[in-house]
Amino acid sequence: MTNKITGIAASNGVAIAKAYKLVDPDLSFETRTIDDTQGEKDRIRAAFLSSKADLEEIRTKAEESMGADEAEVFTAHIMVTEDPELLSNINDKIDSDKTNAEAALVAVTDMFIGMFESMADDNPYMAERAADIRDVTKRVLSHLLGKELPNPALINEEVVIIAQDMTPSDTAQLDRRYVKGFITNVGGRTAHAAIMARTLEIPAIVGSEVATKEIADGDTVVLDGLDGLALVNPTADEMTAYQAKGDQYAAKKAAWAKLKNEKSVSADGKEFIIGANIGTPKDLGGVADNGAEGVGLYRTEFLYMDSTELPTEEDQFESYKKVLKSMDGKPVTVRTMDIGGDKHLPYLPLPEEDNPFLGYRAIRISLDRDDIFRTQLRALIRASVYGQLWIMFPMVATLPEFRAARDIFNEEKAKLIAEGTQVSDDIKLGIMIEIPAAAVLADKFAQEVDFFSIGTNDLIGYSMAADRGNDRISYLYQPYNPSILRLVKNVIDSAHKYGKFAAMCGEMAGDPVALPILVGMGLDEFSMSATSILQARSLMKQLDTKDMAKLADKAVDAETNDEVVALVKANVAAD
Ligand SMILES: C=C(OP(=O)(O)O)C(=O)O
Ligand SMILES: [Mg+2]
């Protein structure tokens, strides 16, 4: 019988392809005393050469599919395999300790990694070197142990990826021509892997718990991202049924596509803005294809994560300019660096923390490391002449944080003007509302900011004390809980009381259950994964704002998440 695996439906669509497991093999080994030290030295040399050959192949493939910039990291890895000092240190260790190649390799590379990491505070390049050595060590070890590492960059046939989790750097390596979807063991609908899948327009299931255990490399997998179901080695009848389901979804998408150049307007004629969330300028194709009326969230941390060192002012300026120019006068909301939590930079080591999601992150880092922040703001301010720039700060909890960020912005702007640089005099400054404290105090913030953008992904997590990526407690991650709706309403009402603009850029903005309520609350801008825009626009056309205002009143007065879902279902016909 076909094995069925369920999980959280994270990105719509149906894919049928072979399974490719992106899972590291067990690389544990025993330390042994060795008589034949020359034999071990030969083994390590051969493992270095094989690793180099792997990496050269991966680099060539990565250059073809993703471009020279993305492939650069592999050049750094190849250089590690060619480092004579590293190899001679390992050989010395084998001789002096009479130990096996695996143990000598790990002892020596650990020493180098520790040394580079200890210097990383003053020189981010050192952290990068440490990360390179760690990566190469894994590959050399796999050769010594005769185990194969997965090489996603080498995939050259259609596959569905099966993984424990997908980090942003894993997803960055994927070639869209071949990767038809993915299934992970962990994660929730708003985890970054899920957001990435929606941006790439590939179906995905997250939080399946068992995918890596139950699916073998090469199995045929049907991935139903609409209902969060995967079929392993399906029957011919099942394949046919799911092909039909995929076709049906494609037909719906084709109908929505007709709305690409239309306004986002309710049935009774009220206009809203539907914007797109992007991670890099590469996402602009999807923005245009889906008829976005602006960029409501540009997550600039990817600029930092995709780089091997802190991006320069010039690099950043080019990226911001590209996005602003491409949006041709439509508003572009750029969020300053949101690092920390689950987003790490190899070259900017953060302190170990018990609760990184409640720790040193986002605006907290920017205000502490204002050298990094000022570089980003200068790049943004310089780019402002190419379009309509809105800047927002992530994870703001208090007014003094916003004021400090605004002061730094004003200082950099004044400096640039004094240097004779052209800048726009209409840059809007706002904040993400993703910390409950800020949502509650929105009436105070509204007197000082130009706009709010509600980051429900985190706001829900922090309000319910439920990690957005933890599938075990995903039942508590309740977007429609009346407590969340009351916070959202408070933010929208507070903005409007002071004539300010209220946007939402969390995934809730594109959620067909939440959207009618948000229309009823009078949210000004809905920003979402570009692939959700046309469906949202289609739904919006069917809604009457006065009816939705009544629905929103009932929803904030409800008792539970489920009650709100039932209310929406009873009042809004499914699209
Ligand atoms: C949009 C948000 O930010 P991110 O998903 O990048 O944390 C949010 O928290 O809702
Ligand atoms: Mg957030």
Q: Is 505 in the pocket of ligand 1 (CB under 6 A)?
A: yes
pLDDT for the residue 66: 61
Quote helix, strand, coil % in the chain, to nearest 5. 50, 15, 30
Q: Does the annotation count 77 as an active-site position?
A: no
Closest CA relative to residue 337, chosen from 264, 261, 266, 279: 279
Across all residues in the chain, what is the average pLDDT?
Answer: 92
SS3 string of 183-207? EECCCCCCCHHHHHHHHHCCCEEEC
3-state secondary structure of 339: coil
Q: How buried is residue 443: exposed, middle or buried, by Cβ count under 10 Å (0-12/13-18/19+)?
A: middle
264-321 pLDDT per residue, tens: 999 999 999 999 999 989 889 889 999 999 999 999 998 998 788 899 999 999 999 9
Residue whose token pair is 């050259």: 156
pLDDT for residue 70:
64
Could you give the angle at the alpha carbon of 238 between the alpha carbons of 232 and 217, nearest 5°?
Answer: 20
Query: In testing the pocket of ligand 1, which one of 357, 505, 532 has its CB within 8 Å of the most ligand atoms?
Result: 505
Exposed/middle/buried for residue 105 (C-beta within 10 Å: 0-12, 13-18, 19+)? buried
- Cα–Cα distances (Å) from 123 to 107, 119, 310, in that order, read 24, 6, 11
* DSSP symbol at 36: -
456 Cβ below 6 A of ligand 1? yes
Pocket test for ligand 1, best of 338, 508, 528 (most atoms within 8 A of CB): 338
- Residue 30 CB contacts under 8 Å (≥ 6 apart), including other chains: 100
| 356-383: pLDDT as tens digits | 899 999 999 999 999 999 999 999 999 9
| Residue 194 token pair | 């899920």
- Residue 471: its pLDDT value, please? 74
Taken in order of first residue, the domains within the chain and their CATH numbers are 3-23+152-254 (3.50.30.10), 37-144 (1.10.274.10), 258-571 (3.20.20.60)
Q: Which two tokens stand for residue 266?
A: 């309710």
Q: Does the annotation flag 335 for ligand binding?
A: yes
**Nearest atom within ligand 1 for CA of residue 301:** 6
Whose atoms come closest to the Cα of 456: which ligand? 1
Task: Please write the tens of the pLDDT for every residue from 272-282.
Answer: 999 999 998 98
* CB of 511 shorter than 6 A to ligand 1: no
Question: Residue 180's closest CA among 158, 209, 213, 212?
Answer: 158
Answer for the pair 228, 205: CB distance below 8 angstroms, yes or no. yes
What integer pLDDT is reported at residue 152 of this predicted model?
80
Contact 2, 234 (CB under 8 A): yes
- 445-495 residue pLDDT tens: 999 999 999 999 999 999 999 987 777 888 999 999 999 999 999 999 999
Compute the average pLDDT of residues 439-445. 98
The alpha carbon of 394 and the centre of ligand 2 are apart by a number of angstroms equal to: 7
The DSSP letter of residue 33 is B
364 has binding-site annotation: no
C-alpha 404 – ligand 1 centre gap (Å) = 22
What tokens were used for 496?
């409007």
Which helix (DSSP H) or strand (DSSP E) does residue 528 occupy?
Answer: strand 525-529
φ/ψ region of 343 (left if φ > 0, alpha if ψ in -120 to 50, else beta) reads: beta
Tell me if 17 sits within 8 A of 159, measured CB to CB.
Answer: yes
Q: What's the pLDDT score for residue 269?
A: 97
Provide the CB-side half-sphere exposure for 400 (13 A, CA): 1
Q: What 3-state class would DSSP assign to 11?
A: strand
Contact 537, 259 (CB under 8 A): yes
Ligand number with the minimum distance to the CA of 459: 1
Q: Which amino acid is at 471?
A: D
Question: Does residue 390 surpass a pLDDT of 90?
Answer: yes
Q: Where are the alpha helices (DSSP H) in 119-191?
A: 124-144, 168-172
Is 352 annotated as ligand-binding? Answer: no
Q: In the structure, what pLDDT confidence band is assigned to residue 122 with cuts at 50, 70 and 90?
A: low
Task: Please spell the DSSP secondary structure of 358-373, one letter per residue.
Answer: GSS-THHHHHHSHHHH
For the residues of 218-241, what is the DSSP string, one character each? Answer: T-EEEEETTTTEEEES--HHHHHH
CB atoms within 10 A of CB 214: 16
Across residues 232-258, what is the average pLDDT? 93
pLDDT recorded at residue 386: 98
> Residue 343: pLDDT above 90?
no
Assign 338 a pLDDT band (cuts: 50, 70, 90): very high
Q: By the 8 A CB rule, do 430 and 450 touch?
A: yes
Q: Is the reported ipTM for this assembly greater than 0.95?
A: yes
For residues 192 and 168, is the Cβ–Cβ distance under 8 A? yes
Output the pLDDT for position 308: 80
**What pLDDT score does 1 carry?**
74
Residue 169: per-residue pLDDT: 55
Question: Helical H runs in 82-118?
Answer: 84-97, 101-118
Model confidence at 131: pLDDT above 90 = no
d(CA 312, CA 96): 45
- Tens of pLDDT, residue by residue over 28-56, are 999 999 999 999 999 999 999 999 998 89
- Count of all residues that appear for the chain in the document: 575
- pLDDT band for 415, please (50, 70, 90 cuts): very high
C-alpha 486 – ligand 2 centre gap (Å) = 19
Please state, in angstroms and rounded to a whole number, the distance separating the CA atoms of residues 281 and 324: 10
What's the pLDDT band for 73 if we cut at 50, 70, 90? confident
pLDDT on residue 124: 62
Q: Say if residues 207 and 186 touch (Cβ distance below 8 Å).
A: yes
pLDDT on residue 558: 98
Cα–Cα dist 445/398, whole Å:
9
Instruction: Please give the Cα distance from 322 to 326 (Å, whole number).
Output: 6
Q: What is the 3-state secondary structure (H, E, C) of 303-319?
A: HHHCCCCCCCHHHHHHH
pLDDT band at 328 (very low <50, low <70, confident <90, very high): very high
The sign of the CA dihedral 115, 117, 121, 123 is positive
Report H helices in 336-398. 363-368, 370-383
Distance CA 363, CA 386 (A): 25
Return the ligand number nearest the Cα of 453.
Answer: 1
Residue 492: closest CA among 475, 508, 472: 508
The yes-or-no answer on residue 344 being catalytic is no
Please check the confidence at residue 575 and state whether its pLDDT lies above 70.
no
59 labeled part of a ligand binding site:
no
Which DSSP string do the residues of 438-477 spell out, in sequence order? HHHTHHHHTTT-SEEEE-HHHHHHHHHT--TT-GGGGGG-
The half-sphere exposure of 348 on its side-chain side, counting CA atoms within 13 A, is 20
Dump pLDDT digits (tens) for 137-175: 999 999 999 998 888 877 889 999 999 987 655 666 677
